[in-house]
Amino acid sequence: MNELKNAFVLKGLTIKQKAVVWWFSISLCLLCSTEDAPLWFLFLEVASLALSAHFLKKIPIPDYFKEDEE
């Protein structure tokens, strides 16, 4: 149960890293939920998602997400 709580709270990440994770999550949800938006708005959503994914790659994965190597 603690692992699930740590995952939702993003324990072990700085405020800036948490903001990037939330930015990526919101960008992905926004892109998936847009149907009848103009083409320029879809381009902005894709650009935002790509930029957030670029920053997301720089965040280290917390220990509670890594699988145990035996």
Q: Which pTM does this prediction carry?
A: 0.75
Mean pLDDT (the chain) is 83
d(CA 61, CA 13): 9
pLDDT for the residue numbered 63? 66
| pLDDT tens sequence for the chain (70 residues) | 676 676 667 777 888 988 998 999 999 999 988 888 899 999 999 999 999 999 999 988 766 666 665 5
Under the phi-then-psi rule, with left for phi > 0, alpha for psi from -120 to 50, and beta for the rest, what region is 12?
left
